[in-house]
């Protein structure tokens, strides 16, 4: 199985801060990497698919990149609604696997 | 508007069985693979398994932790997805989400629509 790791596991940030979340795959997954945002009591939300592509309706302050097996989700200017837990997920091979999550909290 | 509505969760004893349902509306259900994803209390997301569409022979795949115990099925005529869970264990306690497993091209696939989830608690 492909193992996904994320760092940090949590971070504290202020409104307006730039935030970077990292995700690493245990082997090459090409660009088959998706990002999700999860808030308690609500359905998870797809943010980014195929490494770079923002899902329809996702604000442009979100962006994503890749370098080899290292993937990054960026939030350029953190907004109140962005406080959540973010998960990366690989679709390269079965079983589908998720990273352990990065919780973004209010400083 | 796309809606996925899970039902059937509840409290069950270890070793027991439970069947979850997911009613889907607002999309062409029969054209897509569907999946179940779960989240244990305070934990991350875990893929449970998927069922492909008729064009792909309704084939199913499962995560290692549920293989042999869980079965995913679907009824395209009623736009419903099911998860039959048997021999339940305490570590199956989780919120179970019904999701559309959208296939774009190659290995580009993602979970773009999610239900609100239904809680399964396994305890004596």
Cβ-in-10-Å burial (0-12, 13-18, 19+) of B86 comes to middle
Contacts of A20 (CB under 8 A, 6+ apart): A72, A73, A74
Mean pLDDT, chain A, rounded, equals 97
Q: Do A95 and B63 touch (CB under 8 A)?
A: yes
- Identify the band that residue A68 occupies on the pLDDT scale cut at 50, 70 and 90: very high
Q: Do B45 and A38 touch (CB under 8 A)?
A: yes
Q: What is the DSSP string of chain A?
A: ---EEEE-SEEEE-TT--EEEEEEESS--TT-EEEEEE-TTS--EEEEETTTEEPTT--TTEEEEEETTEEEEEESS--GGG-SEEEEEE-SSSSPEE---EEEEE-
Q: β-pairing, B118-122 with B10-12?
A: parallel
pLDDT of residue A18: 97
pLDDT of residue B106: 82
Quickly tell me which residue has 């959208």 as its tokens: B102
Q: Which residues pair with B49 in a beta bridge?
A: B36, B62
Mutation test of the interface with chain B: which of A96, A97, A98, A101, choosing the one with the most B Cβ atoms within 10 A? A96
**How far is Cα B79 from Cα B5, in angstroms, rounded to an integer?**
11
Q: Do A34 and B63 touch (CB under 8 A)?
A: no
pLDDT of residue B88: 98
Does A72 have pLDDT greater than 90? Answer: yes
Residues constituting chain B? 124
Question: Chain B residue closest to A44 (CA)?
Answer: B114
Asked if the C-beta of A50 comes within 8 angstroms of chain B's C-beta atoms, the answer is: yes
Asked if the C-beta of A105 comes within 8 angstroms of chain B's C-beta atoms, the answer is: no
> Across residues A23-48, what is the average pLDDT?
97
pLDDT of residue B105: 87
What does residue A102 show for φ and ψ, rounded to 5 degrees?
A: -130, 120
Asked if the C-beta of B47 comes within 8 angstroms of chain A's C-beta atoms, the answer is: yes
Taking alpha carbons only, the member of A36, A40, A43, A82 closest to residue A59 is A82
Q: Which CA distances in Å does B54 have to B2, B13, B70, B73?
A: 21, 35, 20, 12
Task: Out of B47, B106, B107, name the one closest to residue A95 (CB).
Answer: B47
Question: Chain A residue closest to B104 (CA)?
Answer: A50
- Cα Rg of chain B, angstroms: 14
Tens digit of pLDDT at every position of chain B (124 positions): 999 999 999 999 999 999 999 999 999 999 999 999 999 999 999 999 999 999 999 999 999 999 999 999 999 999 999 999 999 999 999 999 999 999 998 889 999 999 999 999 999 9
pLDDT of residue B107: 84
Mutation test of the interface with chain A: which of B4, B72, B95, B110, choosing the one with the most A Cβ atoms within 10 A? B110
Mutation test of the interface with chain B: which of A7, A43, A86, choosing the one with the most B Cβ atoms within 10 A? A43
């Amino acid at each position: 199985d492909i193992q996904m790791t994320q760092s940090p596991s949590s971070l504290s940030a202020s409104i307006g801060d730039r935030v970077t979340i990292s995700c690493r795959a245990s082997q090459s997954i090409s660009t088959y990497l998706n990002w999700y945002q999860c808030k308690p009591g609500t359905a998870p939300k797809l943010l980014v698919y195929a490494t770079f592509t923002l899902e329809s309706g996702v604000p442009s302050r979100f962006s994503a990149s890749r370098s080899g097996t290292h993937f990054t989700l960026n939030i350029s200017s953190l907004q109140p609604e962005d406080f959540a837990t973010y998960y990366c997920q690989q679709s390269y091979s079965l079983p589908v696997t998720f990273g352990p999550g990065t919780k973004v909290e209010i400083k | 508007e796309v809606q996925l509505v899970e039902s059937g969760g509840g409290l069950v004893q270890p070793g027991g069985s439970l069947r979850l349902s997911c009613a889907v509306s607002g999309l062409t259900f029969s054209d897509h693979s569907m999946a179940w994803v779960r989240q244990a209390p305070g934990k991350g997301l875990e893929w449970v398994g998927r069922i492909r569409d008729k064009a792909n022979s309704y084939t199913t795949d499962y995560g290692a932790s549920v293989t042999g115990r869980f079965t995913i099925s679907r009824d395209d005529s009623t736009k419903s997805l099911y998860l039959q869970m048997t021999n339940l264990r305490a570590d199956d306690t989780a919120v179970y989400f019904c999701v559309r497993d959208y296939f774009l091209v190659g290995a580009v696939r993602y979970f773009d629509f999610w239900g609100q989830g239904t809680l399964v608690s396994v305890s004596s």
